[in-house]
Structure 1
Amino acid sequence: MKKKDIEFRRVTYLRGPNIWTYRPVLEAWVDIGELEDYPSNTLPGFYERLTAWLPGLIEHHCGVGYRGGFLERLRDGTWAGHILEHVAIELQNLAGLQTAFGKARQTCERGVYKVVVRARNEQVGRAALEAGRQLLMAAINDQVFDVPSTVEHLRNLVDDHHLGPSTACIVEAAAERRIPSIRLTDGNLVQLGYGNRQRRIWTAETDRTSAIAEGISSEKDLTKQLLSACGVPVPEGQVVESPAAAWEAAEDIGVPVVVKPSDANHGRGVSLELMTQADVESAYGVADAEGSEVIVERYIRGDEHRLLVVGGKLAAAARGESLWITGDGTSTVVQLIDSQLNSDPRRGEAEEFPLETIVLEREPAMRLLLERQGMQADSVPAVDQKLLVQRNGNVAIDCTKDVHPEVAYMATLAARIVGLDIAGVDLVTEDVSRPLAETRGAIVEVNAGPGLLMHLKPAQGEAQPVGEAIVRHLFPEEEDAGRIPIAGISGRRNTTLIARLLAWLLQLSGRHVGLACQDGLFLDSRQIEHSPHAHWQGGQRLLMNRTIDTAVMEHSSAGILGEGLAYDRCLLGIVTDVSGEDELAEFFVQEIDQVYNVLRTQVDVVLPNGFAVLNAGDARVAEMASLCDGETLFYASDAAAPAIAAHRDNGGRAVLLRDGNVLLAQGGEDTALAKLSHFPLARDADDITVEALLAAIAGAWALGVSPDLIRAGVETYTPATTAAR
């Protein structure tokens, strides 16, 4: 009997750290309906159909912890929500976005599950989740399902929406260094780091890439003039404006020559080793069709090479190869290209392939080369007749280890002359392991924003860690993670006041502070927006601001559940209380233990060199001390709170209230900060406001603000103090 379809109640993209993991995930509320009564082992043929469609499921360990663990759960019997989790993960893997994290948890409502899957890209993750639902229902109901076309659709979404491979490799290398990133557009503009410590990349361009240098590199003739003036070997050449002028230049230079557009890309419009007037004039038309100036230059014998220079150092090198086809007496040139060249698995239209598919119709330079050999696209070469199809543009063979030091020096010198921090230096030589002077080789182009795929996925040889080289260039100090101090405040009790006061104290210490809270968005106490900004987007806006060196953000439990935190890690996490389960029913949160799991997120993301500031007067908050990777500071309006004594016995710090005095305590020593009555905020204040005052003081103390400055700041602070600035 056909089973009723599973239903998505809600699908939320949690963009930052959340109750499930540090990383972005999709959280789907899934109603499996009648399937709650039908675990997998009760569905005839289901196991066989699912594993035939997705054989990669054998690699899923699941909670069992070993290869084949999930399949074991399938055989023994598990529910549709759990199965959907693994199917969505596997579909993303097949689409090229590798992931392994997922969770499925039953809610308080029968048959309704929270299904969570890691999603590197929201659009792809949502599509994989929906495709997973359809695939799962087809397997349950013994219906047809087209897995290959589904995977192809997901791969197309990856191409359309995910970072390109060059940018992705840099972001992944940054992540290895614990450097956070923010994607600034739907394209490949990415921020590495936060606030005034950030750097920006756009594929293989950085915020250190000079616009003047880019302009020079786009003018190939100007580039050659500058390189030649500085002693870099370049081929003699001229810019020409007509076919006749092209042949005149060829006669001046001496054949053979090269005719190419000044802005050549992937070898398009480039014709090599031209000997006759007819060939040169025909090649002029091919180059001119590319839309830029046409250059005629001396032909350099050898193979084309691409040397990647990053920060004045050689990072990688790749060599090109000529392409040939061999006739069989029956197939046309186009058919031979498809069968002998395009069948290469390294070739494809998508950006992930190191070599492009050859389409003769869009390659006039190739057609001209074939015509010089007496062939057209529909010609049928004789048996064993060899035809040269392409001499350049196939740079995908790694040769990094072969580059002679003098060749590497010339490449880095060329990049410096042009002024590029990252450059793709094209040179031609018969042997890259020998100096250019010996081989009569030369540098022919210096390119800004070079592609990295040939070095990441070479057709032959070892992949090179070019992403690491670029990250090292941007963040040369190994310990530099591009971070600024971030303070997060979570809970229900006066978190806005804590955030405002803490930001004020940090600003008084000389920092440029950004604040996102329920009162609005603030930069150095200047309110720039009045609407509430205690959410993910408000926090991200702070972190993108290049003027701030410290950020303070307020978070609600609902915000953590609905969006996640705006940052990956923080230096300071403050938790005021564990309460408010009655306000979170829409998230299936009904018990205080569930609230605890939400708010512990704030402590989980504290850096090892950071601090958790916890309310010792709330026993559940005090429990979170064991979760902190860094140091814990307690605060309490009751100096006799149970958690305080043991904490101080271990040398811990606390901010306490005793006999009307605010004390900074460390181990067995107490230092009086001031009388509570000296602080305007504390006069006629309730206990919750006093606790908020202590929390802000503890946060400022943890972040290195001196006691004298804390005292002065709290004595002079009122809500109007910052609003007026």
Structure 2
Amino acid sequence: MSDKKKAIELLRTTYLRGPNIWTYRPAMEVWLDLGELEDHPSHLLPGFNDRLLKLLPALEEHHCGVGERGGFIQRLREGTWAGHILEHCVIELLNRAGMPTGFGQTRSVSQRGVYRMVFRARDEQVGRTALSQGHALLMAAINDEPFDVEAAVAAVREAIDDCYLGPSTACIVAAATERGIPHIRLNDGNLVQLGYGARQRRIWTAETDLTSAIAENIACDKDLTKMLLQACGVPVPEGQIVASAAEAWEAAQDIGLPVVVKPSDGNHGRGVALDLRQQADIEAAFTLADSHGSEVIVERCIPGDEHRLLVVGGQVVAAARGESAWITGDGKSTVVQLIDSQINSDPRRGTTEDHPLNRLSVEEDEVIRLDLQRQGFAPGDVPPAGRRLLVQRNGNVAIDCTDEVHPEVAHVVSLAARAVGLDIAGVDLVCEDVGRPLAEQGGAIVEVNAGPGLLMHLKPAEGTPRPVGQQIVAHLFPEDEDDPHPGRIPIVGVAGSADCTFIARLVARLVHLSGRPTALACADGLFLGHRRTEKAGKQYWDACHRLLMNREAQAAVFENPAALILDNGLPYDRCQVGLVTDLGGHEALAHHDITEADQLYRVLRTQIDVVLSDGVGVLNGNEERVAEMASLCDGEVLFYACEGADGLPACVADHLSQGGRAAVMTGQRVSLRSGSSEQGAIELGQILHRRGQTAGPARLQALLAAVATAWAFGISPELIAAGIETFEQPLA
């Protein structure tokens, strides 16, 4: 194309980690300068729409603002700007990479040609990668240049694989989210905190903070595990520890052939050889097992298939069965070729977590090579036509059989988990039929595993997926009718600019006096109770988030200036009480394209948007625009206002007339009203007099806001008055 367009300039990219002006969830906000493309919407770029749809045909599915399939295509044909198109390119790349994303918006700012584009981003690095690839794709489409869409999708998928939670952890987090339990990722791996403060639990894949370290160490020692299970009457295979290949053969003769040879502390089936009957095979299996563990066990071989039963909180919640893998010779193909054509061709097999069955590799699996050797074949040999060869004795345990488990089997498996001491366990047993008691068929439990993988139950190769994540969350957070918000501590958010640091400190003091050790984040620093733990620095959002990790905190109060919401989002997802005092402070926010107070409405409403349905939004009734936020609150609304010569503001008077609550200050007396009745009063004038202090109008307004917020939290008028009188900071 001769008229090549200059690339859209990405002015700045901000990852909004908490609820923000766009959405409740983390999002990526990008400021774009379209440059000359401001004068070239989509319908004025010859051939562009067709080129874009050829690269991303699934854009046909995007509803956009039209609200129906094909809506975005309609916008393209009518003419839309490049910032909006980039939004949809990024979303489609995320969709194709396996991280479905439906939210995006693009809005112009006051400077011509500059836009704010935002899209849902569960992870910052994934979002940045999708943005980079989407930007390159869009410019290629505009300038009629080649672009490798599959490589772009692969780059985003690689970022997801590098950054996102593993499937076991992700399913638990998703189940927690369904129940309204917040989560915090504590490292780059799979260590996740569910809940806030004192009510948190931690998981690491399928291990929890209830998982005993002693139990985990026992599970790693297969010989010790067998001893404990045997003491409880759980059937286990006879076996013994051996120190050499010769001892392995001697033990096998004592136990009786066939036998299993395996490492005492291995995992994932590594180094395990089954159904061994010959001396040479047993001695070779010893060498293999010895390379995978500290000691080697020789055990009686139990007839049947391997099963994995998942125990959560003492109950069997899922079960899966394995099966052997075979090939049949055709007289022309080698063993490796037959494995690829007859086994690995199964679409359920692969190397990623999307595949319930593993791809078999002779080169990488010593056990497969050993089994082939026992049958007289090497990987490069050509088996005769019709000759069947066993490739894997117990392949991936991925056939769901949960509904087949006999109650007696479930009891024995649960007993095994309890004997080891694990709250969550993967119990491996071998039997011919899991629907019959083990004693009837000579079945036995061969291992008890801590931190079991869940993928086989979430995505079985055959059968019904099981909601194991939900069952683990129910184990960590039992259902309780008296606890509507499991995992949550009550949070108070204070937003505005008028004396909010003072308000936050006083509210935290009052909450602490009510009997809850309270964490506080404000401009003065981070506090737990009376102790300041650190100063408030440039990384204020991170510091706020750390407070929610503190197990001592039974409640938390946060000062949330507008800049925090714009730069990062709120540090929590929902709150019990949200206060908005005013719409001041716009002068410092010009870099966010905020030039007047009224523009702060959209920013500070975020604090009211996140109030829980049984929480309270506290609003300044003397500020008309702040009072208008009442309609946005999911919970109760409580106004506070100073009564003037003309009486109360109309919104407050109407609210009281409808039975609502309000804290009304007349002179220096605060009346706590519910409808037409007074529920209590705070004599601020008397408190100030006893303290020898005099407060001006601004500080009295701040005291009123703090009183209203404490009352919304459920603190009694008497305790509020006592807390104000003993507050360590000056009230003046």
Distance 2:5 2:334 in 1: 54
Secondary structure of the 1:447 match is strand
Q: Deviations over 1:355-409 (max 9, x none)?
A: 2222212211110100111111111222332211101241111111111111111
Amino acid at match of 1:637: C
After superposition, residues 186-265 of structure 1 pair within 5 angstroms as: 186-265=188-267
* CA displacement, residues 501-556 of structure 1 (integer Å, 9 cap, x when unaligned): 10111111121000000000111021121334893212211100000101000011
Which residue does the alignment assign to 2:542? 537
After TM superposition, give the deviation of residue 109 of structure 1 in Å: 1.3
Q: Does the 8 Å contact 1:258/1:272 carry over to 2?
A: yes
Aligned match of 1:651 = 659
How many angstroms does 1:412 deviate by?
Answer: 0.9
**1:86-105 alignment runs, 5 A limit:** 86-105=88-107
Q: Secondary structure of 2:548's match? A: helix
Structure 2 unaligned runs (5+)?
A: none
How far apart, CA to CA, are the structure 1 residues paired with 2:129 and 2:71?
Answer: 26
Query: Which moves more between the two structures, 10-19 or 377-386?
Result: 377-386
Written as runs of structure 1 = structure 2, the 5 A alignment for 1:63-74 is: 63-74=65-76
SS at match of 1:361: coil
Contact 2:325 2:395 in 1 (8 A): no
Structure 1 segments unaligned to the other structure (5+ residues)? none
Alignment partner, residue 711 of structure 1: 721
Which of 566, 582, 586 is the aligned partner of 2:587?
Answer: 582
Give runs of aligned pairs for residues 492-503 of structure 1, distance below 5 A. Answer: 492-503=497-508
Counterpart for residue 313 of structure 2: 311
- The reply on whether 1:300 has 2:305 as its aligned counterpart is no
- Is the aligned partner of 1:602 residue 2:607? yes
For 2:140, the equivalent position in structure 1 comes to: 138
Q: How does 1:315-464 map to 2 (within 5 A)?
A: 315-464=317-466
**Range that drifts further, 31-40 or 243-252:** 31-40
1:173 and 1:468 in contact (8 A); partners too:
yes
Given the alignment, which residue of 155, 180, 204 partners 2:157? 155
Q: What CA distance in whole angstroms lies between the structure 2 residues aligned with 1:95 and 1:283?
A: 42
Alignment partners' CA distance in 1, 2:540 and 2:128: 22
Paired residues of 1:533 and 1:539 also in contact (CA < 8 A)? no
Secondary structure, aligned partner of 1:29:
strand
Aligned to 2:649: 641
Partner in structure 2 of residue 515 of structure 1: 520
1:685 and 2:687 are equivalent in the alignment: no
Distance 1:623 1:606 in 2: 15
Q: Secondary structure at the match of 2:640?
A: strand
Give the one of 697, 705, 715 matched to 1:695: 705
> Which 10-residue stretch deviates more, 327-336 or 295-304?
327-336
Q: Distance in 2 between matches of 1:257 and 1:675?
A: 84
Q: Residue 561 of structure 1 aligns with which residue?
A: 566
The SS at the match of 1:544 is coil
Instruction: Give the letter aligned to residue 651 of structure 1.
Output: G
CA contact (8 A) 2:372 2:378 kept: yes
How far apart, in 2, do the equivalents of 1:720 and 1:534 lie? 28
Shift of 1:267: 2.0
Residue matched to 1:663: 671
Q: Deviations over 1:475-517 (max 9, x none)?
A: 0125342101100000110000000010111111121000000
2:52·2:141 contact (CA, 8 Å) conserved in 1? Answer: yes
Give the distance between the partners of 1:682 and 1:466, measured in 2 at CA.
Answer: 62
Asked whether the 8 Å contact 1:300–1:441 carries over to 2, the reply is: yes
- CA gap 1:629/1:48 in 2 versus in 1, 3 angstroms: same
CA shift, 1:310, in A, is: 0.5
Does the Cα contact within 8 Å between 2:688 and 2:695 map onto a contact in 1? no
The 1-side partners of 2:16 and 2:592 are apart by 13
RMSD: 1.6
Residue 81 of structure 1 corresponds to 83
Q: Does 1:673 align with 2:682?
A: yes
- Residue identity in the other structure for 2:671: L
Secondary structure of residue in 1 paired with 2:457: helix
- Cα distance in 2 for residues equivalent to 1:343 and 1:197: 48
With over 3 angstroms needed to count, the CA separation of the structure-2 counterparts of 1:10 and 1:533, relative to structure 1, is: closer
Q: Could you tell me whether the CA contact under 8 Å between 1:333 and 1:379 is conserved in 2? A: yes
Amino acid at match of 2:22: W
2:621 aligns with 616
On the 8 A contact 2:536/2:543 being kept in 1, the answer is no
For 2:613, give the aligned amino acid: P
Deviations 1:147-190 (A, max 9, x none): 11221222221111111111000000000000000001111000
CA distance in 1, matches of 2:338, 2:539: 62
Q: Deviations 1:39-95 (Å, cap 9, x if unpaired)?
A: 222223322222222232222211111122222222222111111111111111222
2:552 is matched with 547
Task: Decide whether aligned partners of structure 1 residues 180 and 616 sit closer, same or farther in structure 2, where only a CA change above 3 A counts.
Answer: same
In the TM superposition, residue 413 of structure 1 has moved relative to its aligned partner by 0.9
Question: Relative to 1, partners in 2 of residues 1:696 and 1:272: Cα closer, same or farther, differing over 3 Å?
Answer: same
SS of 1:561 mapped into structure 2: helix
* AA partner of residue 694 (structure 1): L
Q: How many angstroms apart in 1 are the aligned matches of 2:539 and 2:726?
A: 25
AA paired with 1:200? R
Q: 1:528: which partner in 2?
A: 533
**Does the CA-based 8 Å contact 2:409-2:438 persist in structure 1?**
yes
- Please tell me whether the aligned partners of residues 517 and 532 of structure 1 are also in contact (alpha carbons under 8 angstroms): no
Does the C-alpha gap of structure 1 residues 264 and 580 become closer, same or farther in structure 2, counting only changes over 3 Å?
A: same
Output the amino acid matched with 1:455: H
Q: Give the Cα separation in 1 of the matches to 2:165 and 2:406.
A: 34
Distance in 2 (alpha carbons) for counterparts of 1:590 and 1:660: 35
CA distance in 2, matches of 1:532, 1:274: 65
| Counterpart residue type for residue 261 of structure 1 | P
Aligned residue type for 1:264: G
Q: Distance in 2 between matches of 1:12 and 1:496?
A: 26
Partner amino acid, structure 2, of 1:303 = D
Decide whether aligned partners of structure 1 residues 656 and 533 sit closer, same or farther in structure 2, where only a CA change above 3 A counts: farther
Distance, in Å, in 1 between the alignment partners of 2:485 and 2:520 is 24
Following the alignment from structure 1 to structure 2, what is the Cα–Cα distance between the partners of residues 32 and 342?
49
For residue 362 of structure 1, give the secondary structure of its aligned residue in structure 2.
Answer: coil
The 1:21/1:161 distance shift into structure 2, 3 A limit, reads same
* Higher deviation after alignment, 248-257 or 478-487: 478-487
Maintained 8 Å contact 1:329/1:383? yes
CA distance in 2: counterparts of 1:534 and 1:559, whole angstroms: 10
Decide whether the 8 Å contact of 1:487 with 1:573 is kept in 2. yes
Q: If the length of structure 2 is used for normalisation, what is the TM-score?
A: 0.96
- Measured after TM superposition, the shift of residue 586 of structure 1 is 0.3
**Structure 2 counterpart SS, 1:498:** helix
User: 1: CA distance between counterparts of 2:253 and 2:286?
Assistant: 15
Q: Partner letter of residue 705 of structure 1? A: I
- Cα distance between partner residues in 2 of 1:352 and 1:200: 26
Pick aligned residue for 1:49 from 45, 51, 61: 51
* TM-score normalised according to structure 1 size: 0.97
Residue 516 of structure 1 contacts residue 533 of structure 1 at CA under 8 Å; is this kept in 2? Answer: no
One-letter code aligned to 2:87 = E
What's the CA shift string for 1:313-362, capped at 9, x where partnerless? 11111111111122233322222222332233322223343222222122
Asked whether the equivalents of residues 235 and 443 of structure 2 are also in contact (C-alpha less than 8 Å), the reply is yes
